[in-house]
Structure 1
Amino acid sequence: MDEFFSMGKDEAPDNVPMMYFTFPSAKDPTSKIHHPGKSCMTILTMVNYEWFEEWKDTPVRKRGDDYLAYKMRFAHNLFDWACSQYPKLRDKLVYQEVSTPLSNTHYLGRYLGAMYSAEHNLERFQAEAIARNRCDTPVKNLFISGQDVFSCGIAGALHGGLLCASTVLRHIVYIDLLMLKKKLKRKKARETAERVKKLL
């Protein structure tokens, strides 16, 4: 990653060293009903804000052909890479949208286009840093939630929310969830046993 981030703007799109992809539609139980035969794929990677900085003062959706061509170089290379692992994807592409750090700055108000708020470096996950990260603040009734408290991504934001709710309520919400899980598991076991009895 250090080598990638030290690259110049022109060589970076052709040398992306990592990506993460996911299919959000697979997590939506109604997706096959509402959008049969279609799926949404998200590909993420990391880039330098500086590679896009020359367009920072241009209006969104009016940044010009150079900007579009530049961000599409990243997109095409990432999609080609994904297709090298999963060739059946290639014929499925219908629409492609590409975001950059400038998109994150415009739509999310993120500093220098950061995608995940607080920096997720190794220091952040040291025991002392984790102990200092709290949901409550010195400002009365101001709490911090989401990925800034726990970790990045959906799971991190979810746990950050649970920690914040526990702080606000002065009650460990995780225990409630554990008890609810046990209750639902027992209920499901009873229902399964009743169905088996009926079949016998």
Structure 2
Amino acid sequence: MVISDAGIFNTYEKLLPKELQAMPDIQKQLSMVKHGEGGLSIFVGLNGTKEELGLKASNYWIFAENNFDELMEKYMNEEREKASKKIPLLFVASPSAKDPSWEERSPGKSTLSLVSFAKYLWFEEWKDDKVTNRGADYKELKQAFINSALDVVMDVFPKITRDKIEYVDAGTPITNTHYIGAPKGEICGVDHGIARFSPELNATIRPQTPLKNLYLTGQDVFLCGFAGGLAGALTCGSVILNRNLHLDSFVLAMKTKYINKKLKDE
């Protein structure tokens, strides 16, 4: 039995022998999905405590406009130089602010993690270059995206200024390809367009594959992100064990809650 968390594209197009890749049922599943958009991750080290910088243990989704669909379509269809000048959507979190032991271990310091989207095509010309040594043009383009993201951060968090930034670096879609094997730099698996949620796709792409004893798990059989990957694992486990692990986890949570309440009352 083989359980693959490599994603549907890597599993079917890279890990299977050519003769199995050509199976009509395999090709049908591949035709129903497309690669998600590339991910852009920016890591920031700051001089200052969370109180001094106005950071909280919260996640922020920052959008330049209310119409997310139009925002994404316009951004992803821009030329890379223009797109890099203004990042219209950004996820911001402070891992250090979420860590109760951080101040003790790293006094007077803080961190930020920033995540957005970036088109794989914008960086594709450097995909075969050596990691950490992709050339001046690549670094310049990457820095333009970094600067745009920092502009958003400093606008939303006015206590963060340029002089507070001690370290910053970014991972582009081709970085994701190198380190996590994402074919097109995607960090959320297959694309989450409307087609992803069609009844036909959900009935076709499941943990069971057209090959006996090969199963898919993770984001691509459920939804994106940590929660989606976990739910995908529960779904895959349910198929293999022939029992509903989603229901099992719910029952376990209820039992745990009941036992904890009883112990507290006693």
Per the normalisation by structure 1, the TM-score is 0.86
Instruction: Check 1:43–1:158 CA distance in 2 against 1; reply closer, same or farther (3 A cut).
Output: same
**Which residues of 2 match residues 60-99 of structure 1 at below 5 A?**
60-90=131-161, 93-99=165-171
Distance of 2:236 and 2:160 partners within structure 1: 40
Matched, 1:142 2:214: yes
Instruction: Provide the residue aligned with 1:198 in structure 2.
Output: none
One-letter amino acid of the structure 2 residue matched with residue 19 of structure 1: L
Residue 45 of structure 1 aligns with which residue?
Answer: 116
Question: Which stretch of structure 1 is more off in the superposition, 30-39 or 151-160?
Answer: 30-39
User: Is 1:102–2:151 an aligned residue pair?
Assistant: no
Q: Structure 1, residues 31-51: CA drift from partner, whole Å, max 9, x if none?
A: 556545544422111111221
SS at match of 2:122: helix
Judge which range, 153-162 or 34-43, deviates more.
Answer: 34-43
> What's 2:231 paired with?
159
Which amino acid in structure 1 is aligned with residue 87 of structure 2? Answer: V
- How far is the alpha carbon of 1:180 from its aligned partner? 1.2
Which AA in structure 1 matches 2:136? D
- Distance in 2 between residues matched to 1:62 and 1:27, nearest whole Å: 33
Structure 1 residues 88 and 179: alpha-carbon distance in aligned structure 2, compared to 1, 3 A threshold: same
Q: 1:57 maps to which residue?
A: 128
Distance 1:42 1:70 in 2: 19
Matched ranges for 1:120-199 at <5 A: 120-194=192-266
Residue-by-residue CA offset, 1:95-119 (whole Å, 9 max, x unaligned)? 2220001101111222122222212
Once the two structures are superposed, residues 66-120 of structure 1 have per-residue CA deviations (whole angstroms, 9 ceiling, x without a partner) of: 2112111111211220221122344653322200011011112221222222122
Hey, what does 1:2 align to over in structure 2?
Answer: 73
Measured in 1, the distance between the counterparts of 2:110 and 2:216 equals 34
**In structure 1, C-alpha distance between the alignment counterparts of 2:164 and 2:262, rounded to whole Å:** 43
- Where does the alignment leave 5 or more consecutive residues of structure 2 unmatched? 1-71
- Alpha-carbon distance change, 148 to 88 in structure 1, aligned in 2, over 3 angstroms: same
Shift of the alpha carbon at 1:65? Answer: 2.1
Shift of 1:30: 5.4
Distance 1:190 1:85, change over 3 A: same
3-state SS, counterpart of residue 97 of structure 1: strand
RMSD: 2.1
Name the CA shift for 1:156/1:25 in 2 (closer, same or farther; >3 Å): farther
Q: 1:34 to 1:126 in 2, by over 3 A?
A: farther
Identity %: 38
User: What is the Cα deviation at residue 6 of structure 1?
Assistant: 2.2
Structure 1 moving runs of 4+ over 6 Å:
none
- Provide the residue aligned with 2:50 in structure 1: none
**CA offsets 1:150-197 (integer angstroms, 9 cap, x no match):** 111111111111111111111101122112111111122122212xxx
C-alpha separation between the residues in 1 aligned to 2:232 and 2:160?
A: 34
Structure showing the higher strand proportion among its residues: 2
SS of the equivalent of 2:262 reads: helix
* Distance in 2 separating the partners of 1:172 and 1:33: 43
Task: Please state which structure has a larger fraction of its residues in helix.
Answer: 1
Name the CA distance, whole Å, in 2 between partners of 1:119 and 1:4: 16
